[in-house]
Amino acid sequence: MTNTRPRTLSRAALVSSGSEQKPLAVIDIGASAIRLVVAEALPGEPIRVIEEVERGVLLGKDTFTNGRLGLATVEATLKALEGFRRIMDTYGVDRYRAVATSAVREAQNRETFLDRVRLRTGLDVDVIDGSEENRLTYVAVWDRMRDDPALTSGYTVLAEVGGGNADISLLRDGEPTHSGTYALGAIRLRQTLAAWSGSQSQQTRLMKRHIHNVVEDIRSEMPLKRADSFVALGGDVRLAAFQILGEPESRGAVRVIPRGAFLDFCEAVTGDDVEDIIERFQLSQADAETLVPALLAYRELLLETEAPHVTVPEASLRGGLLLDLAGGAERPAFDAFRKQVLASAAGLGEKYRYHAEHARHVAHLATQLYDALQSEHGLGERERLLLEVASLLHDIGLYISLRGHHKHAQYILSVSQIFGLSRDEMAVVGNVARYHRRGVPQKSHPGYAALDSAARVVVNKLAALLRVANALDADHARRITDVDVVTESDAMVLAVRGTGDLTMERAAVLHRCTLLREVFGRRVVFREVGGSS
C-alpha cells in the first residue's frame, strides 16, 4: 500500500549527524511491488527507519500468467532499483540485503533477470523460498508482539497473503508447529481467473470457491480449528484495519479488529470492481487489484479458526530482514530459533505418526556424538540443528511402508516444509534421513547427486553420526542413556552408559559404523562405562 508514515530522520539530518554507524537497507522484490527500507541500527537502541519507498510493479502478473518476466516489467523493475540504489548511496548505506520472492522465484528467466539487475544496479539479489519468508516474518512479528497473548498463548494462526503466495504458520504458545507457503496470493488468484469473462458477482463466487478449495488443503496439513487467535499481516489487511477502526497507523502499532466487523467489511468490499476500489479508497491500480482477493483469502482462513478478533501488527518481511541484518539483542537468540525449528519438525512428525520417544532419544544421542566429535567434523550450530531435525524425522517413511522406509522418509522431507529451514537445508535433512540405514551415500543416487560438493560433505558427516545414534537405540528400548567419544590412537571409542544387556546395541553399532569409520578415518570401538547416572 502507499506509504504515508513520517520519516524519523531526514537525509540531510542523518548525513550531518556524524554517526559512526552507517545506515543499512533492505529491498523486497515482491509480486505486486518493490520496496526499499533504509534504517539506522545503533548498538543498544531500537532500529530507526529513515525512509521507506515503494514502487508498484506487477511482476506476478507476468510470472503467474506466462511463466516469465516480460520485457516491460523487467525494465520497470530495473528503473525502480536504480532509483533505490541512488537513495542508498545518498545515505551512505553500509550493509544491505535484497531479496525476491515468488514472482522471481517461479519465473523461467529468473537467472537472466538477476544478472541484469546485478549489471545495471550493482545489487545482488537473493531469491528466498517460502520457509525463509516465514522465518523472517515471524522474526518481525515476534519483535512487535513478544508480550502479546494473541501470539504467545494457545494456538495462533499467523497469515500473510502476498501477491504470489500466502505464508501461513500455526503457533502453539508462540512457537511454530506447522508452517507452509500456499498458492493463495492475491495476484495469482486474479491471474488464475483472468480468462473468465463472467460478471463481477460470478467472478467473486468463483474466486471464493477456489480459495475455499486451497484452504481445505491447508486444513489437511495443519489443525486450523484449534486456533483461538488470528494474526494477519500485509498492506491489504492494514487498510481494512484503518477503514474499520478509523485509527491512524502509527509505527509499531498492533490493532485488533472484532471478528464480525472484519467479516462484514470483507463482504462489503468484495462486490466492488477494481475501478470502484481505486475511487473508494484512493489506491493505485496495483494496490487496488490485490485488495479483494487478499481479503477473501483472509476471510476464509479466519472462518477456519475460533478466533474472536483479527490482530494486525505493523510487521512485515522487510522488518524481519532489518532485524536479521542488524543482529544484536533484537534478533531472537539461536536457542529460541532452534526451539521453533524443532517444534515445527515435531509437528511434521506427528502428522506422519512418528515414534516420538525413539525419535527424541536418537536426536539426543546423535547430538552427543556431534558435540564429542566437534574438532573432527568442524561443523557449526546450524548443521547441528539439521542433524537434530533429521534424527527426529528419520523414520517418518514408515507412514508409507516398512519396506524402504528410509527412501520414503527422503521423499516426504523433499516435499515438506519446516519452519526456518530453506529448501537447500531440507535437501540436506532429507539425505541424512535417507542414509540412517541400509546403503551409504552414492553419487548414483539422484537426491544425493543433486547436492553441491559442500552439501554432500555435510551429509556424509551427519549421516555417519545418525546411523550410529540410531543403532544405539536399535530396538527402541532406550537402554543406552548417554554416549561420549574418546580418541585413542587410531580408534574412536564410543563410551556408552546404559542399563541391562547391551549386546544388541553393540552388534548394531559395529554393523552400521562403516560410514563413520570412512568419514573420520578411525576404527570404531564400543565400550561400556557403567550404568546410567
Q: For 497-508, how does the pLDDT look when each residue is reduced to its tens digit (9 = 90+)?
A: 999 999 999 999
Strands of the sheet with 166-172, listed across from one edge: 175-182, 166-172, 155-161, 229-233, 309-313, 254-258
- At 21, the pLDDT band (50, 70, 90 cuts) reads confident
What cell numbers appear for 170 in the block? 500455526
**For all residues of the chain together, what is the average pLDDT?**
90
Closest by CA to 27, choosing from 108, 122, 106, is 122
399-408 per-position pLDDT tens digit: 999 999 999 9
pLDDT at residue number 211: 95
pLDDT at residue number 251: 59
**Where does CATH 3.30.420.40 sit in the chain?**
11-128
In this model, does residue 258 exceed pLDDT 80? Answer: yes
pLDDT at residue number 43: 81
pLDDT at residue number 15: 43
Positive or negative CA dihedral for 480, 486, 492, 493? Answer: negative
pLDDT at residue number 250: 59
In this model, does residue 370 exceed pLDDT 70? Answer: yes
In this model, does residue 343 exceed pLDDT 50? Answer: yes
130-189 per-position pLDDT tens digit: 888 888 999 899 988 989 999 999 999 999 999 999 999 999 998 888 888 898 999 998
**Where does CATH 3.30.420.150 sit in the chain?**
131-328
Contacts of 392 (CB under 8 A, 6+ apart): 342, 345, 346, 349, 354, 359, 360, 362, 363
- At 226, the pLDDT band (50, 70, 90 cuts) reads very high
**CA R_g for the chain:** 25
Percentage of the chain lying above the pLDDT 70 cut:
93
Q: Which CATH class is domain 11-128?
A: alpha beta
**Where does CATH 1.10.3210.10 sit in the chain?**
334-528
pLDDT at residue number 328: 45
- At 329, the pLDDT band (50, 70, 90 cuts) reads very low
Domain 334-528: give its CATH architecture: Orthogonal Bundle (1.10)
Positive or negative CA dihedral for 225, 227, 233, 238? Answer: positive
Cα 476 off chain centre by:
32
Query: How many whole angstroms separate alpha carbon 335 and alpha carbon 409?
Result: 26
CATH 3.40.50.2300 fits 131-328, yes or no: no
Per DSSP (E only), the strands in 123-228 are 125-127, 155-161, 166-172, 175-182
- Amino acid letter, 463: A
In this model, does residue 434 exceed pLDDT 50? Answer: yes
